[in-house]
Structure 1
Amino acid sequence: MVDNPIQELPADEAWKLLGSKQLGRLAVSVGGQPDIFPVNYYSDEGRIVFRSAEGTKLSELVVNEHVAFEVDEYTDDGGWSVVAKGTARVLARGDEIAEADTLPLTPWVPTIKYNYVEISVGDITARRFEFGPEPERYPV
Protein backbone atom coordinates (compact mmCIF):
# COMPACT_ATOMS: atom_id res chain seq x y z
CA MET A 1 0.00 0.00 0.00
CA VAL A 2 1.19 3.50 -0.81
CA ASP A 3 1.61 5.81 2.20
CA ASN A 4 0.45 8.93 0.37
CA PRO A 5 -1.17 8.18 -3.00
CA ILE A 6 -2.19 11.84 -3.51
CA GLN A 7 0.49 14.53 -3.63
CA GLU A 8 -0.30 18.23 -3.84
CA LEU A 9 2.08 20.04 -6.19
CA PRO A 10 3.42 23.60 -6.00
CA ALA A 11 2.07 26.29 -8.34
CA ASP A 12 5.18 26.37 -10.54
CA GLU A 13 4.81 22.65 -11.25
CA ALA A 14 1.08 23.14 -11.89
CA TRP A 15 1.93 25.75 -14.56
CA LYS A 16 4.53 23.44 -16.07
CA LEU A 17 2.02 20.59 -16.31
CA LEU A 18 -0.65 22.93 -17.72
CA GLY A 19 1.80 24.09 -20.37
CA SER A 20 2.64 20.51 -21.34
CA LYS A 21 -0.81 19.85 -22.81
CA GLN A 22 -3.01 21.42 -25.46
CA LEU A 23 -6.49 20.11 -24.64
CA GLY A 24 -8.39 20.99 -21.49
CA ARG A 25 -11.90 21.45 -20.14
CA LEU A 26 -13.53 24.82 -19.53
CA ALA A 27 -16.16 24.81 -16.77
CA VAL A 28 -18.74 27.61 -16.67
CA SER A 29 -22.02 28.17 -14.86
CA VAL A 30 -24.93 30.39 -15.84
CA GLY A 31 -28.25 30.57 -14.02
CA GLY A 32 -27.22 27.72 -11.74
CA GLN A 33 -26.63 25.42 -14.73
CA PRO A 34 -23.06 24.12 -15.11
CA ASP A 35 -21.49 23.43 -18.49
CA ILE A 36 -18.16 21.93 -19.56
CA PHE A 37 -16.48 22.47 -22.93
CA PRO A 38 -13.34 20.80 -24.27
CA VAL A 39 -11.01 23.40 -25.78
CA ASN A 40 -7.51 23.43 -27.15
CA TYR A 41 -5.48 26.16 -25.49
CA TYR A 42 -2.18 27.89 -24.89
CA SER A 43 -0.94 28.91 -21.43
CA ASP A 44 1.76 31.25 -20.16
CA GLU A 45 2.39 34.05 -17.69
CA GLY A 46 -0.64 33.48 -15.46
CA ARG A 47 -3.14 33.09 -18.26
CA ILE A 48 -4.83 30.57 -20.52
CA VAL A 49 -5.86 31.55 -24.05
CA PHE A 50 -8.21 29.71 -26.39
CA ARG A 51 -10.21 30.49 -29.51
CA SER A 52 -13.97 30.22 -29.80
CA ALA A 53 -16.67 30.56 -32.41
CA GLU A 54 -19.90 32.37 -31.62
CA GLY A 55 -22.26 30.17 -29.61
CA THR A 56 -23.12 28.82 -26.19
CA LYS A 57 -19.60 28.84 -24.75
CA LEU A 58 -18.95 32.45 -25.69
CA SER A 59 -22.40 33.60 -24.55
CA GLU A 60 -22.01 31.92 -21.18
CA LEU A 61 -18.60 33.54 -20.62
CA VAL A 62 -20.12 36.98 -21.22
CA VAL A 63 -22.88 36.29 -18.65
CA ASN A 64 -20.53 34.86 -16.00
CA GLU A 65 -16.81 35.52 -16.34
CA HIS A 66 -15.86 33.27 -13.40
CA VAL A 67 -14.57 29.97 -14.77
CA ALA A 68 -12.58 26.88 -13.93
CA PHE A 69 -10.22 25.10 -16.31
CA GLU A 70 -8.99 21.53 -15.92
CA VAL A 71 -6.35 19.44 -17.65
CA ASP A 72 -5.06 16.00 -16.71
CA GLU A 73 -3.12 12.96 -17.80
CA TYR A 74 -2.95 9.38 -16.61
CA THR A 75 -1.19 6.08 -17.25
CA ASP A 76 -1.70 2.61 -15.81
CA ASP A 77 0.31 3.61 -12.72
CA GLY A 78 -0.99 7.07 -11.90
CA GLY A 79 -1.74 10.51 -13.18
CA TRP A 80 -2.06 14.18 -12.44
CA SER A 81 -4.69 16.90 -12.57
CA VAL A 82 -4.44 20.69 -12.72
CA VAL A 83 -7.36 23.00 -11.91
CA ALA A 84 -7.09 26.72 -12.64
CA LYS A 85 -9.75 29.21 -11.53
CA GLY A 86 -10.05 32.75 -12.77
CA THR A 87 -11.90 35.26 -14.88
CA ALA A 88 -12.45 35.01 -18.62
CA ARG A 89 -12.78 37.80 -21.11
CA VAL A 90 -13.01 38.05 -24.87
CA LEU A 91 -10.01 39.93 -26.26
CA ALA A 92 -11.28 43.05 -28.05
CA ARG A 93 -8.40 45.50 -28.53
CA GLY A 94 -6.50 45.30 -31.80
CA ASP A 95 -3.10 44.96 -30.09
CA GLU A 96 -4.37 42.09 -27.91
CA ILE A 97 -5.76 40.25 -30.92
CA ALA A 98 -2.57 40.86 -32.93
CA GLU A 99 -0.51 39.42 -30.05
CA ALA A 100 -2.86 36.44 -29.73
CA ASP A 101 -2.53 35.78 -33.47
CA THR A 102 1.18 35.08 -32.87
CA LEU A 103 0.49 32.32 -30.32
CA PRO A 104 0.86 28.68 -31.38
CA LEU A 105 -2.90 28.24 -31.19
CA THR A 106 -4.93 26.96 -34.12
CA PRO A 107 -8.38 25.36 -34.09
CA TRP A 108 -8.43 21.56 -34.06
CA VAL A 109 -11.93 21.43 -35.51
CA PRO A 110 -12.33 22.87 -39.03
CA THR A 111 -14.53 25.80 -37.98
CA ILE A 112 -13.99 29.55 -38.01
CA LYS A 113 -13.03 30.81 -34.56
CA TYR A 114 -12.55 34.58 -34.66
CA ASN A 115 -12.76 35.13 -30.91
CA TYR A 116 -9.85 34.84 -28.52
CA VAL A 117 -10.69 34.28 -24.87
CA GLU A 118 -8.17 34.89 -22.11
CA ILE A 119 -8.53 33.43 -18.65
CA SER A 120 -6.62 35.41 -16.02
CA VAL A 121 -5.81 32.73 -13.49
CA GLY A 122 -6.25 33.71 -9.86
CA ASP A 123 -5.80 30.26 -8.32
CA ILE A 124 -4.09 27.14 -9.64
CA THR A 125 -3.77 23.77 -7.93
CA ALA A 126 -2.32 20.45 -9.01
CA ARG A 127 -2.22 16.93 -7.67
CA ARG A 128 -0.31 13.83 -8.65
CA PHE A 129 -1.99 10.47 -8.05
CA GLU A 130 -0.55 7.01 -7.65
CA PHE A 131 -3.03 4.29 -8.55
CA GLY A 132 -3.48 1.13 -6.50
CA PRO A 133 -6.02 -1.07 -4.82
CA GLU A 134 -8.37 0.35 -2.23
CA PRO A 135 -7.06 -0.24 1.32
CA GLU A 136 -8.96 -2.52 3.64
CA ARG A 137 -11.91 -0.63 5.07
CA TYR A 138 -11.87 -2.51 8.33
CA PRO A 139 -8.30 -3.59 9.04
CA VAL A 140 -8.00 -6.59 11.32
Structure 2
Amino acid sequence: MSVHSDPVRTLTDAESWERLRGQELGRLVTHIGDTIDIFPINYAVDGDGIVFRTAPGSKLFELTANADVLFEVDDHTDVDAWSVVVRGHAAALETDADVARAEAAGLRPWIPTVKRVFIRIAPASVSGRAFHRDPEPERDGPQEY
Protein backbone atom coordinates (compact mmCIF):
# COMPACT_ATOMS: atom_id res chain seq x y z
CA MET A 1 0.00 0.00 0.00
CA SER A 2 1.41 3.40 -0.92
CA VAL A 3 1.74 6.15 1.68
CA HIS A 4 -0.88 8.08 -0.31
CA SER A 5 -3.48 5.28 -0.37
CA ASP A 6 -6.33 5.47 2.09
CA PRO A 7 -6.37 2.29 4.20
CA VAL A 8 -10.08 2.88 5.00
CA ARG A 9 -12.87 2.34 2.47
CA THR A 10 -16.59 2.93 2.96
CA LEU A 11 -18.65 -0.16 2.14
CA THR A 12 -21.73 0.09 -0.04
CA ASP A 13 -25.07 -1.01 1.43
CA ALA A 14 -24.84 -4.24 -0.58
CA GLU A 15 -21.31 -4.94 0.70
CA SER A 16 -22.40 -4.24 4.27
CA TRP A 17 -25.35 -6.65 4.03
CA GLU A 18 -23.12 -9.29 2.38
CA ARG A 19 -20.76 -9.12 5.36
CA LEU A 20 -23.67 -9.27 7.83
CA ARG A 21 -24.98 -12.40 6.09
CA GLY A 22 -21.55 -14.03 6.36
CA GLN A 23 -21.37 -13.90 10.16
CA GLU A 24 -23.38 -15.26 13.10
CA LEU A 25 -22.09 -13.29 16.10
CA GLY A 26 -22.52 -9.57 16.70
CA ARG A 27 -22.84 -7.05 19.49
CA LEU A 28 -26.11 -5.42 20.50
CA VAL A 29 -25.92 -2.03 22.23
CA THR A 30 -28.90 -0.90 24.30
CA HIS A 31 -29.45 2.16 26.45
CA ILE A 32 -31.84 3.44 29.07
CA GLY A 33 -31.09 6.91 30.36
CA ASP A 34 -27.43 6.97 31.37
CA THR A 35 -27.08 3.18 31.28
CA ILE A 36 -25.51 1.73 28.13
CA ASP A 37 -25.05 -2.03 27.79
CA ILE A 38 -23.51 -4.25 25.15
CA PHE A 39 -24.46 -7.90 24.63
CA PRO A 40 -22.89 -10.50 22.34
CA ILE A 41 -25.66 -12.20 20.39
CA ASN A 42 -25.90 -14.78 17.68
CA TYR A 43 -28.16 -13.61 14.89
CA ALA A 44 -29.43 -14.19 11.37
CA VAL A 45 -30.21 -11.78 8.56
CA ASP A 46 -33.88 -11.91 7.62
CA GLY A 47 -34.56 -9.95 4.45
CA ASP A 48 -33.74 -6.38 5.38
CA GLY A 49 -33.53 -6.97 9.12
CA ILE A 50 -31.60 -8.75 11.86
CA VAL A 51 -33.26 -11.40 14.04
CA PHE A 52 -32.13 -12.98 17.29
CA ARG A 53 -33.53 -14.88 20.25
CA THR A 54 -33.43 -13.98 23.91
CA ALA A 55 -34.94 -14.84 27.27
CA PRO A 56 -36.37 -12.65 30.03
CA GLY A 57 -33.62 -10.61 31.65
CA SER A 58 -31.81 -7.30 31.40
CA LYS A 59 -31.46 -7.36 27.60
CA LEU A 60 -35.17 -7.92 27.02
CA PHE A 61 -36.10 -5.38 29.71
CA GLU A 62 -33.87 -2.73 28.13
CA LEU A 63 -35.28 -3.43 24.64
CA THR A 64 -38.80 -3.11 26.03
CA ALA A 65 -38.00 0.20 27.74
CA ASN A 66 -36.13 1.67 24.75
CA ALA A 67 -36.26 0.03 21.33
CA ASP A 68 -33.46 2.17 19.82
CA VAL A 69 -30.37 -0.01 19.36
CA LEU A 70 -27.02 -0.28 17.68
CA PHE A 71 -25.83 -3.59 16.29
CA GLU A 72 -22.23 -4.15 15.24
CA VAL A 73 -20.45 -6.98 13.46
CA ASP A 74 -16.81 -7.14 12.43
CA ASP A 75 -14.11 -9.53 11.29
CA HIS A 76 -10.45 -9.46 10.35
CA THR A 77 -7.56 -11.31 8.79
CA ASP A 78 -3.85 -10.51 8.89
CA VAL A 79 -4.25 -8.05 6.00
CA ASP A 80 -7.86 -6.84 6.06
CA ALA A 81 -10.61 -5.95 8.50
CA TRP A 82 -14.16 -4.62 8.33
CA SER A 83 -16.94 -3.35 10.56
CA VAL A 84 -20.67 -2.88 9.92
CA VAL A 85 -22.96 -0.89 12.22
CA VAL A 86 -26.75 -1.10 12.06
CA ARG A 87 -28.77 1.61 13.79
CA GLY A 88 -32.37 0.66 14.26
CA HIS A 89 -35.35 -0.29 16.37
CA ALA A 90 -35.84 -3.66 18.06
CA ALA A 91 -39.24 -5.29 18.51
CA ALA A 92 -40.42 -8.70 19.63
CA LEU A 93 -41.93 -10.86 16.90
CA GLU A 94 -45.62 -11.26 17.63
CA THR A 95 -47.00 -13.74 15.12
CA ASP A 96 -46.34 -17.43 14.55
CA ALA A 97 -45.59 -16.61 10.91
CA ASP A 98 -42.89 -14.09 11.89
CA VAL A 99 -41.31 -16.58 14.32
CA ALA A 100 -41.37 -19.32 11.69
CA ARG A 101 -39.69 -16.96 9.22
CA ALA A 102 -36.96 -16.16 11.80
CA GLU A 103 -36.38 -19.86 12.42
CA ALA A 104 -36.22 -20.47 8.65
CA ALA A 105 -33.44 -17.83 8.47
CA GLY A 106 -31.24 -20.25 10.43
CA LEU A 107 -31.66 -18.65 13.82
CA ARG A 108 -30.60 -21.18 16.45
CA PRO A 109 -29.27 -20.65 20.00
CA TRP A 110 -25.55 -21.27 20.45
CA ILE A 111 -25.89 -22.43 24.02
CA PRO A 112 -28.41 -24.94 25.40
CA THR A 113 -30.77 -22.47 27.04
CA VAL A 114 -34.40 -21.78 26.33
CA LYS A 115 -34.83 -18.51 24.45
CA ARG A 116 -38.46 -18.14 23.50
CA VAL A 117 -38.49 -14.44 22.64
CA PHE A 118 -37.69 -13.61 19.03
CA ILE A 119 -36.52 -10.04 18.33
CA ARG A 120 -36.18 -8.26 14.99
CA ILE A 121 -34.03 -5.19 14.45
CA ALA A 122 -35.53 -2.97 11.75
CA PRO A 123 -32.62 -0.90 10.41
CA ALA A 124 -32.87 2.87 10.22
CA SER A 125 -29.35 2.98 8.74
CA VAL A 126 -26.51 0.62 7.86
CA SER A 127 -22.91 1.72 7.49
CA GLY A 128 -19.74 -0.22 6.95
CA ARG A 129 -16.04 0.30 6.53
CA ALA A 130 -13.26 -1.94 5.28
CA PHE A 131 -9.68 -1.53 6.39
CA HIS A 132 -6.38 -2.58 4.86
CA ARG A 133 -4.01 -3.60 7.64
CA ASP A 134 -0.35 -2.68 7.31
CA PRO A 135 2.42 -1.75 9.71
CA GLU A 136 2.20 1.70 11.25
CA PRO A 137 3.81 4.37 9.04
CA GLU A 138 7.22 5.66 10.03
CA ARG A 139 6.78 8.46 12.58
CA ASP A 140 10.32 9.80 12.62
CA GLY A 141 12.07 11.74 9.89
CA PRO A 142 10.60 13.84 7.10
CA GLN A 143 6.89 13.42 6.47
CA GLU A 144 5.18 13.74 3.10
CA TYR A 145 2.28 16.16 2.82
Q: TM-score if structure 2 supplies the norm length? A: 0.90
> What is the total number of aligned residue pairs between the two structures?
140
**What's 2:37 paired with?**
35
Deviations 1:72-93 (A, max 9, x none): 1111112111111100001122
Distance of 1:6 and 1:108 partners within structure 2: 33
Instruction: Pick the aligned partner of 1:61 from 55, 58, 63.
Output: 63
- CA RMSD in angstroms, aligned pairs only: 1.5
Distance, in Å, in 2 between the alignment partners of 1:101 and 1:5 is: 38
Find runs of 4+ consecutive structure 1 residues off by over 6 angstroms: none
Aligned equivalents of 1:79, 1:35: Cα separation in 2? 24
Match for residue 84 of structure 1? 86
Tell me the residue number matched to 2:133.
131
> Which deviates more, 56-65 or 128-137?
128-137
For 1:44-55, list aligned pairs within 5 A: 44-55=46-57
Residue of structure 2 in register with 1:73 after alignment: 75
Decide whether the 8 Å contact of 2:93 with 2:120 is kept in 1: yes
Aligned to 1:23: 25
Structure 1, 73-82 or 98-107: larger mean CA deviation: 98-107
| Aligned ranges 1:97-112 → 2 under 5 Å | 97-112=99-114
Partners of 1:19 and 1:44 within 8 A in 2: no
Change over 3 Å in CA distance of 1:103–1:45 after alignment to 2? closer
TM-score (norm. length: structure 1)? 0.93
- How far off is 1:138 after superposition? 6.4
Which of the pair has more CA radius of gyration?
2
Query: SS of the residue aligned with 1:100?
Result: helix
Are residues 108 and 57 of structure 1, via their aligned partners in 2, closer, same or farther at CA, if it must alter by over 3 Å? same
